[in-house]
Amino acid sequence: MSLSELSRTVAFRLTLLYSLFFAACVVMLLGFIYWQTATEMTRRVDLILTLEETRFNQVSPDTLSDEIDKSVQRDHRHVYFYGLFSSDGRLIAGNIPRLPPGMPVDGHIHGTTLSATNLASQSMPARALAIRQGSGSILLIGHDVQQFTEFGEVMRSAFFWGGSLTILLGLVFGLLLSFGPLRRVEQIQQVCELIMHGNMKQRLPVSGRHDELDMLAVIVNKVLDEVDRLMSEVKSVGDNIAHDLRTPLTRLRALLYRMQQQLGDSPHHAMMGQVIAEVDSLLLRFRALLRISEIENKQRRAGFKLIQLPEILAQAVNFLEPLAENKSIKLSMVAESVDPINGDGELLFEVFVNVLDNAIKFTPEGGRVKVHLSSGPKGAQVDIVDSGAGIRENEKSAVLNRFYRGENDLQAPGFGLGLSIVMAIIRLHDFGFRLEDADPGTRATIYCWPQGV
């Protein structure tokens, strides 16, 4: 369960989305608090400056400079700025060495930067107003707002950490919340793989939480129940027909054979032989269908045991060697050392014989068929390569179906059931099977290890 898989889950994405939303809400809330607090602090400073202006307006011009010096001495916190300047800008009284450049003398409060003679610090942000007196002098009253700047820095830090922690916690909780759904999805995926390999009795797990995954699992399980029922009915109909017709066809063949013997040298003797051959063909088809049904019932797993693939493969090659010699086909086998596998030796012998028979059947005279047993990525692997005409790309899946015959094998004997038997045995063992181009010819590969691994 990788981090990329967790990040793609719906739970993680929803949690991340909600985290971003809540982070935005936190930032907006802190911004509103900062705006309200800064507005209130500014209002109070402006009120103080207005009161100070009123107080100085009530002082006579003769004692104004003394009152300013007294105010400077009473300011133990050093937050006030006072300055009385002559019309040419020379300091008369106060703790401001000079008028700030660009400061309008209009009696309104403005933001500016001031420095005090009684402080060693540099210029500080302040709110100030300048008033022109009747004598032409200028009175400047200011208040330090350094706390505004400090408060802004605190709020910016709160914005950053508040938003970051909200998003970080959202990511962590998103990952934690994703474990459960992703684990259930993996369980569903494992069950679906079993169903795809032919185990129609499997059903999707239901946790009992009655969430959306449970709702989906219940619906899919109902669909699988109905599909299984329909498949069983169709399969039972075909099996019953094949089983019920085999006996009367066998009797029919026996009767036809007796009639043929009685005809002797009659002109109808050869025609009766053709009829018997057609009946034999029907019996072979029904026998193949019943064989597939027997394998697909999966009742032969009890006979599984450790088997040696080289021995079984060699038996299949020896069994079909006379057939290859009749067509002057070079049949060769190379077997590497592989570990024993768990399976049914008789059924796997039938797989190799069917695949080899097809390879020889569709390889022209003088061709070649190679059998190679090797160790694949996860177990033994058998490759059967012929030099025939090959299989068209759009027919490679279809030839595995019952009764399907490709365009290249319409003239060849057979019923289109050989590879169906092969696939039934492959699914029983949970092995893999693949058809590829060999340029020329076809490569049939049997992967002799569980495909769910």
Tens-place pLDDT, residues 369-417: 999 999 877 889 999 999 888 787 777 776 776 656 655 554 555 555 6
For residues 141 and 221, state if they share a domain.
no
Does the pLDDT of residue 179 top 80, yes or no? no
Kindly state whether residue 206 falls inside one of the protein's structural domains.
Answer: no
Q: Which two tokens stand for residue 156?
A: 């910016």
**Confidence (pLDDT) at 453:** 47
Kindly state whether residue 362 falls inside one of the protein's structural domains.
Answer: yes
pTM above 0.75, yes or no: no
Average pLDDT over residues 244-261: 76
Domain end marker among 262, 296, 330 = 296
Strand order in the sheet with 91-94: 91-94, 80-85, 138-144, 124-132, 110-114
Most confident of 164-173, 263-272, 435-444: 435-444
CA distance 369 to 102: 100
Q: Which residues contact 161 (CB under 8 A, 6 or more apart)?
A: none
For residues 107 and 16, state if they share a domain.
yes
**Is residue 343 a contact partner of residue 304, using CB atoms and an 8 Å limit?**
yes
**Confidence (pLDDT) at 372:** 92
More confident of the two residues 1 and 93: 93
For residues 108 and 133, state if they share a domain.
yes
pLDDT digits (tens, 9 = 90+) for 29-46: 888 888 888 888 889 999
**Confidence (pLDDT) at 2:** 60
Count of domains in the chain? 3
For residues 38 and 87, state if they share a domain.
yes
**199-207 contacts: CB < 8 A, separation 24 or more?**
200/224, 200/227, 200/228, 200/231, 201/228
For residues 225 and 156, state if they share a domain.
no
- The percent of residues above 90 in pLDDT, for the chain, comes to 13
CA distance 27 to 19: 12
Does the pLDDT of residue 452 top 60, yes or no? no
CA distance 269 to 311: 46
Domain end marker among 195, 228, 248 = 195
**Confidence (pLDDT) at 9:** 67
Task: Report the greatest alpha carbon distance in the chain.
Answer: 160
**Confidence (pLDDT) at 288:** 60
For residues 316 and 286, state if they share a domain.
no
**218-223 contacts: CB < 8 A, separation 24 or more?**
none
- The percent of residues above 70 in pLDDT, for the chain, comes to 82
More confident of the two residues 141 and 453: 141
**Is residue 308 a contact partner of residue 343, using CB atoms and an 8 Å limit?**
no
190-194, 267-271, 440-444: segment of lowest average pLDDT: 267-271
For residues 217 and 250, state if they share a domain.
yes
Kindly state whether residue 205 falls inside one of the protein's structural domains.
Answer: no
For residues 80 and 141, state if they share a domain.
yes
For residues 292 and 314, state if they share a domain.
no
For residues 190 and 55, state if they share a domain.
yes
For residue 165, give its domain range: 1-195
For residues 355 and 437, state if they share a domain.
yes
Q: Which two tokens stand for residue 150?
A: 């400090």
**Confidence (pLDDT) at 410:** 45
**Confidence (pLDDT) at 239:** 59
Residue 409 is part of a domain; what is its CATH number? 3.30.565.10
Kindly state whether residue 207 falls inside one of the protein's structural domains.
Answer: no
The closest alpha carbon to 112, from 83, 73, 133, belongs to 83
Pairing of strands 91-94, 110-114: unpaired
Does the pLDDT of residue 298 top 60, yes or no? no
| DSSP conformation class of 155 | H
The closest alpha carbon to 329, from 382, 386, 269, 258, belongs to 386
Average pLDDT over residues 122-147: 88
Kindly state whether residue 408 falls inside one of the protein's structural domains.
Answer: yes
CA distance 14 to 20: 10
Does the pLDDT of residue 303 top 90, yes or no? no
CA distance 242 to 290: 7
For the chain, give the mean pLDDT: 80
For residues 16 and 111, state if they share a domain.
yes
Domain end marker among 259, 280, 296 = 296
Average pLDDT over residues 307-318: 91
pLDDT digits (tens, 9 = 90+) for 76-110: 888 899 999 988 888 889 888 888 888 898 889 99
pLDDT digits (tens, 9 = 90+) for 335-371: 888 888 888 888 888 889 889 988 888 888 888 999 9
More confident of the two residues 132 and 419: 132
